[in-house]
Amino acid sequence: MHDHPRGLSRPVGTRSDLVRSGAVLLAMLLQIVAGALGGSGALGEPVGEVARAYPTLLLPAGTAFLIWSLIYVATFALAVRQVLPAQRGRDLHRASGWPLAVAGLLNAGWIALFTQRQYLAAEVVIVALLAVLALTWTRLSRIPAQGWADRLFVYTPVTIYTGWVLAAAVAGAATTAAAEGLAPSGQVATVLAALAVAATTAATLWVILRGQARAVAGFTLAVAWAIAWIAVATPAAAVSVVGGLAAAVLVGALLVRLARTARPAAAAAG
């Protein structure tokens, strides 16, 4: 797929483009409203209280969840931009629009279920959300960004969102297991939690190595943010050490990848 070349007029949007872009805008608004209501307890119990009802070794500190504010602002900015007449006919919005609309609906659904302590159903929904965001990212990866605005308002919001939801799905699995009475205890719980952190780190390192440089930063930093706050909050010293090291490794690997990507660009410019 190819977006418009620089210097040429942008594609004219069709009626279906208007419908799709409107659906994205409404879905992003819906998830913001659902997040506010879920956080306040208007839909049931506040999300934070429900999460803490079954504390696990993988539950991040409360500060970690501030990233939702960034995600909501970033995805709303994406939604506003893509609904503009000059934007909505572009290939990158056509490729990502409907998956993003579904993602907004799934996020709102997850919040509604979680505030009602429907842990298993909520976990199924957040895994579905992760799959939809991964699909969105995959579609976007086939379309080159046309400048900094695409990177800032499209690729970065999607990748930050995906990274955080990956970590949230892992933490949510532990919460679901605890709520269903399936969580292990003692050393077994510590080993499994450390392995979960290690597996999430390994998956992120694979993305750093294989993903496109313009997209890996947001994803990596979101995952590292979550793991760092798990390391801060967990009562298990082993999980804390593994989490702290994992977060540092991810940031270091990202810096190396970005530096290596910058060298050929600098050489070409010179």
| 193-205 confidence digits (pLDDT tens) | 999 999 999 999 9
Element (DSSP H or E) covering residue 93: helix 91-115
Residue 115 inside a domain? The answer is yes
**pLDDT of 111 above 80:** yes
Under DSSP, is residue 212 helix (H, G, I), strand (E, B) or coil? coil
Q: What is the DSSP letter of 8?
A: S
pLDDT of amino acid 261:
80
The verdict on residue 246 lying in a domain is yes
Q: How far apart are CA 24 and CA 88, in angstroms?
A: 11
**Residue 262 pLDDT more than 80?**
no
Of 259, 133, 135, whose CA–CA distance to 208 is shortest?
Answer: 259
Domain assignment present for 7:
no
Cα–Cα distance, 270 to 262 (Å, whole number):
12
Which has the minimum average pLDDT: 112-116, 201-205, 219-223, 263-267? 263-267
Q: Give me the mean pLDDT over the 238-248 stretch.
A: 98
pLDDT at 215: 78
Which one is predicted more confidently, 244 or 212?
Answer: 244
Residue 48 located in a structural domain: yes
- Number of neighbouring beta carbons within 10 Å of residue 206: 10
- Burial (0-12, 13-18, 19+ Cβ within 10 Å), 181: exposed
What pLDDT was estimated at residue 269?
47
Q: Which residue has the higher pLDDT, 261 or 250?
A: 250
Evaluate whether residue 8 is within a structural domain: no
Cα–Cα dist 200/243, whole Å? 10
In a domain, residue 6? The reply is: no
Is residue 73's pLDDT more than 70? yes
The parent domain of residue 192 ranges over 15-269
Asked if the model's pLDDT at residue 11 lies above 70, the reply is: no
Contact 167, 200 (CB under 8 A): yes
pLDDT at 260: 86
Per-residue confidence band for 133, with pLDDT thresholds at 50, 70 and 90:
very high
66 assigned to some structural domain: yes
Span 91-119, mean pLDDT?
97
Between CA 57 and CA 190 the distance in angstroms is 7
Number of independent structural domains in the chain: 1
Contact between 200 and 227 (Cβ < 8 Å): yes
Query: Could you tell me what percent of the chain has a pLDDT over 90?
Result: 83
Average pLDDT of the segment spanning 14-36: 96
Picking from 5-9, 104-108, 169-173, 254-258, which range would have the lowest pLDDT averaged per residue?
A: 5-9
Mean pLDDT for the stretch of residues 122-144 = 96
Mean pLDDT of the chain: 92
DSSP label of 103:
H
